[in-house]
Structure 1
Amino acid sequence: MATTARRGPYFCGIDAAMDVVSGKWKSLILWELAEHGVRRFAQLRRSLPGVSEKMLIQHLREMEEDGLVHREVYREVPPRVEYSLTEHGVSLNQALAPLGAWGVERIRRIGAEKVVHAAS
């Protein structure tokens, strides 16, 4: 596992958890992989409107370093790379589920628009 700057010291468990999911797209990547299983890079990009290629690559690399995402490279022509959640990623996604439920209730309460997930 690569050494990153995100290794504490931490004030509390929430601090350590937020360190791993910090960034606009990480929780959405977790959700996408949990909902759809194995995804290729282009599928992830299409499923997350607004994410830049650079940001998606950066977040996927960090998530792989943190043990949340598994990257499988297939040596074929053309090359194929697939991403999936590790057990650690699945457990984090499960821990985030109550926060997602809270967010859905907030959307309802404030009358905000909910973005419909793009089919891919």
Structure 2
Amino acid sequence: MNKQNLTVHNLVQAATKFRDERDWRQFHNPKDLAISLSLEASELLENFQWKDSAKSLEENEENIYDELADVVIYALMLSDVLDVDLNEIVLNKLEKNARKYPVEKAKGTEKKYTEL
């Protein structure tokens, strides 16, 4: 697969091909995929627990990347099972966030939109 022209659609196709070659679609439902996504995110977090970010990356770089990939793969699988277009829902969410966090109020602050 040509990495330079890779799209989200290509990633979904690659992930579902991997799944389907193993006949795992039967186990993939929204609930279990969402649980798996959350568990993988927790495994990613474990790499940072009780350490600063720089030390975590230094000690666990490969594992961090692997766990991040697992999170993304489960998100791709979930989008396939839900039959949603990830490009569309991500862009829609960014538009919503832009309304919640207008640049003139949110720039340079970590405040939640309810505090702006």
TM-score norm. by structure 2 comes to: 0.32
Larger RCO (CA under 8 A, 6+ residues apart): 2
Return the structure number with greater strand share.
Answer: 1
- The structure where helix makes up a greater share of residues is 2
